[in-house]
Amino acid sequence: MIEFMIDLQGGGKAPLYEKIYGYIRDEIAEGRIRRGEKLPSTRLLAENLAVSRSTVEMAYEQLLAEGYISAEPCRGFFVCDITGLYRLRQSVSHPQTEAAHGRERVKVDFSPNAVDTRAFPFHILRKINRTVLSDDTEELLEAGDRQGEYALRNVIARYLHQARGVNCRAADLILGAGNEYLQLLLTQILGAGRTVLMENPGYPQAYRTFCNAGYRVKTFCAGGKGAVCEEAQRAGVDLVYVMPSHQFPMGTVMPLNQRIKLLEWAAADEGRFLIEDDHDSEFRYRGRPIPSLQSIDCHEKVIYLGTFSKSIAPSLRISYMVLPPVLLERYQRVCGFYSVTVPRVQQETLCMFIGDGYFERHLNKMRGVYRDKRDFLLRELKKRDWAGHIGGESAGLHILVEVRTAMGEKELCRRAEERGVRISGLSEYMLGSEICGGERGPRLLFGYGKPDEAEMGQGLFILDCILKEEQK
């Protein structure tokens, strides 16, 4: 008979039965007890260790459930044959990999896609999360609705109608893990061999998605004189991808007459569709929000894309897409079996967050927060003589600033990064190899989502230094 010497004092505050369980499990897993061997009875071991029998029983029960031992009534517990039983060895630390991922020090982050996390109501998130996990829990594990939970789609549809004038019912909505996923899904719905027109500079992710899917992608200068629909006509495409409310990264707004012409262009042929990416329309600081393209479309030609990445957080990974009837039918035929990519727990949480009015409150709060930060940034920039023309300041979470310097844009960004300031230049958002707008000085994207005023000040100061050094 084996005699165990189990240290019940050490090992921290773990429960007694777990220490016993862990000890015996390791003995078995590492082959120090052979299979078939008999373990001491619960009584014996309990006495040896000076614990209650039930404590030993609980340990044995666990070993039993995990297949390490088998129980034979009135005879004893015996070690099983664990060949083939999985065993994850506890982390042997990997120092080199950890070091490799030791985050670089970024002091000030002007990324255009980051959001302000300080103002987020974590306590509410925690509360909702607890509620979600506490009731109806089993159902949460099962696969849910393929387009997304109906209740959530319903509140989103209501929100979209109210806030953006979007004409849709819950049935027209498809939820997905991020805009990029939905664009991927869109290529599947629309099928191979399409031609698409995009604004340049624009949204490189979408550009690459279309390229990778084998689409022919044409671009035209965003903010230029040419009207979109004429470009579409000339390029002979059947899809146009636009961001009419607040073009990324230029920040321009598409005028109403161009929108109408674009809709007319789409209506002229059955195979044509418009993809409206409405990624940051929630934040608008001047004038009234412009109704979406989808809301003024009466030919069912607009695919509407939206996201919670900016209004809540990028890590949430919940976006939505409104499909016109023709494409919804096609989606159900060719993609209907795809499971939704958003975990159900997240869906329920978001549903409650919106449904209980927290989302609206949060949006209102954040609009104020971002407006203040934007105003501060604009004020500070005005003091700099290196800051030239500023664009895109009426909406979104970033502004575009022309910099008066002889330095190259990439060089400027690199030097900033070196000193802990993450900032991106307009050239990063150029699609393909095409160059738009000719020779000009660097244009920087100042995202004010993440940094607070102090950080922004610091970042601007560092830029001051870099640009001053260069002048000398």
Partner DNA sequence: GGGTATTTGTCCGTATGTATG
Partner DNA sequence: TCATACATACGGACAAATACC
List binders of a copy of itself among 176-215 (CB under 8 A).
177-178, 180-181, 184-185, 187-189, 191-193, 204-205, 208-209, 211-214
| Region 72-101 residues binding a copy of itself, contact defined as CB under 8 A | 83-91, 94, 97, 101
Q: Binding to a copy of itself by residue 9, rule CB under 8 A?
A: yes
Q: Binding to a copy of itself by residue 44, rule CB under 8 A?
A: no
Length of the chain: 472
Question: Pick from 32, 43, 107, 126: which binds a copy of itself (CB under 8 A)?
Answer: 126
Which C-beta is closer to a copy of itself: that of 213 or that of 250? Answer: 213
Helix (H) or strand (E) holding 319: strand 319-322
358-383 helix and 453-471 helix, angle to the nearest 10 degrees? 30
Question: Pick from 124, 140, 221, 390: which binds a copy of itself (CB under 8 A)?
Answer: 140
d(CA 273, CA 268): 10
> Which range in 48-56, 100-108, 302-310, 374-382 contacts DNA by CB under 7 A?
48-56
Amino acid found at 143: A
Q: Strand 398-403 vs strand 302-307: parallel, antiparallel, or unpaired?
A: unpaired
Answer with the entry of DNA, a copy of itself, none that 140 interacts with (C-beta below 5 to 8 A by kind): a copy of itself
Q: Binding to DNA by residue 39, rule CB under 7 A?
A: yes
Q: Binding to a copy of itself by residue 131, rule CB under 8 A?
A: no
Contacts of 371 (CB under 8 A, 6+ apart): 285
With CB under 7 A as the rule, give the number of residues binding DNA: 29
Answer with the entry of DNA, a copy of itself, none that 128 interacts with (C-beta below 5 to 8 A by kind): none
Closest distance to a copy of itself from the beta carbon of 114 (Å)? 6
The SS3 call for residue 28 is: helix
**β strands within 209-272, DSSP E:** 216-221, 239-242
The SS3 call for residue 15 is: coil
Within a 10 A sphere around the Cβ of 175, how many other Cβ atoms?
24
What are the tokens at 266? 């789409």
d(CA 343, CA 17): 34
Question: Pick from 116, 120, 125, 127: which binds DNA (CB under 7 A)?
Answer: 127
Q: Binding to DNA by residue 92, rule CB under 7 A?
A: no
Question: Pick from 165, 224, 291, 343: which binds a copy of itself (CB under 8 A)?
Answer: 343
Residues 269-288: x where in contact with a copy of itself by CB under 8 A, - otherwise, as a string = -------------x-x--xx
Closest distance to DNA from the beta carbon of 30 (Å)? 22
> Which range in 127-135, 244-252, 384-392, 401-409 contacts a copy of itself by CB under 8 A?
127-135
Q: Binding to a copy of itself by residue 316, rule CB under 8 A?
A: yes
Contacts of 290 (CB under 8 A, 6+ apart): 244, 245, 253, 281, 284
d(CA 391, CA 336): 42
> Which range in 65-73, 262-270, 387-395, 453-461 contacts a copy of itself by CB under 8 A?
65-73
Contacts of 319 (CB under 8 A, 6+ apart): 175, 176, 177, 178, 179, 181, 182, 305, 306, 307, 308, 309
Q: Binding to a copy of itself by residue 14, rule CB under 8 A?
A: no
d(CA 429, CA 113): 13
Answer with the entry of DNA, a copy of itself, none that 191 interacts with (C-beta below 5 to 8 A by kind): a copy of itself
The SS3 call for residue 329 is: helix
Whether 390 contacts 401, CB under 8 Å: yes
Answer with the entry of DNA, a copy of itself, none that 364 interacts with (C-beta below 5 to 8 A by kind): a copy of itself
What does the binding site for DNA look like in residue numbers (CB under 7 A)?
Answer: 15-18, 39-44, 51-55, 57-58, 60, 64, 71-77, 123, 127, 130
